[in-house]
Structure formats: structure tokens, C-alpha cells
Structure 1
């Protein structure tokens, strides 16, 4: 088995807190970035972290690199910092929900 820089626990927790599919996240990033004019590069819409999460969702664990692992830790820490550990569906202010959705976590989703 090839060495991977990600621990099993981080892999599992990242996929638990990122509860949006890659399709949902991609659509959200394009929607969130939409302005009065057409997005010039719709596949690059959204924040750098959001795009990185989207890329990670498309990778196998063995294909991850150290930068991916850093982003995974950042996302897990951020979601846990703003949510309870049980991640039960929780309503809150729209801007709070939208910030979390930008990194792949929808607080209203089970």
C-alpha cells in the first residue's frame, strides 16, 4: 500500500464534516461567485479553500498531498469551531450558513 500523508481519522472526519457532494459544492461556489455579469472562469469560482475542498473530494486518499492534508485539517477545525461536535442540523444566520457552505458544510443538512 502506498504511503499517504493523511491519517485515517482525518480522512473520515473531513468526509463527515464536508456533507455536500462535489456537485452541490461546485454549484454553490458558482452561485456564490455569480455577479451581474457572467463568470469568466466558472470552474474556478469561489474561494481558494472552497476550490481546494472541491479538488480533494475528487481525489483518492492515496493521491492526497501535504497541502491537501493542511486544507483538510483547516476545514475540520473551522467546522468544529463553528458547530457542535454532533453536527446535528442547525439553523442560524444566512451569512453563517453560506460561509460554511463555501467549504462544503451545510449546517441544515443531516
Structure 2
């Protein structure tokens, strides 16, 4: 399993927009019109994007286990079964 430090580095390399750029994109109608969702809910990807904006605004020294778990989802890093439940 990738270490938290590896996941954080992979996340930084994978996210190719600044928080401000991503936030601007998330505010567009195009962004809001796509993705898997339940009726009336925000799409899964849109919700993840808002979480990424928050993560990009944080100092990595302040990352919680939940933050690193979301980064693992973003970069597709494997997790130990049950670890994120």
C-alpha cells in the first residue's frame, strides 16, 4: 500500500489546476450539468471537486486521515480492505 506521503505527492502531481481555477470551473453550468447524481443532488465528481479545492488550500501538515483517504480516491491508490469504511 502506498504511504500517506506517496499519496500526497501523487495527488499534488495529478491535480493540474489551482484551487482558484478548479473553483471557477465548478461554478460553470457545464460543470454542474454532468456527472452521476441522485435527483436534486450534486454530482459525485462535483462534490469531489469541491473537496479537492479545500485540500489544495490546506497545508499538508494539517491533512487528516479523511483528507488522505480522499486523495487516495483521486489518484486511485489502493487501500487496505475496510480501511476507509
- Bin for the TM-score computed over the shorter chain: 0.5 to 0.7
Determine which structure has more spread, i.e. the larger CA radius of gyration: 1
Task: Show structure 2 runs of 5+ residues with no match.
Answer: 34-44, 78-85
CA distance in 1, matches of 2:9, 2:59: 13
CA distance in 1, matches of 2:61, 2:55: 11
Cα deviation for residue 8 of structure 1 reads 1.9
Cα deviation for residue 7 of structure 1 reads 2.3
**Matched residue, 1:71:** 70
Matched, 1:49 2:48: yes
Task: Show structure 1 runs of 5+ residues with no match.
Answer: 1-5, 35-45, 79-110
Task: State TM-score, norm by structure 2.
Answer: 0.64
CA distance in 2, matches of 1:57, 1:23: 9
**When the two structures are aligned, how many residues end up with a matched partner?**
62
Ranges of 4+ aligned residues in structure 1 off by more than 3 Å: none
**Matched residue, 2:15:** 18
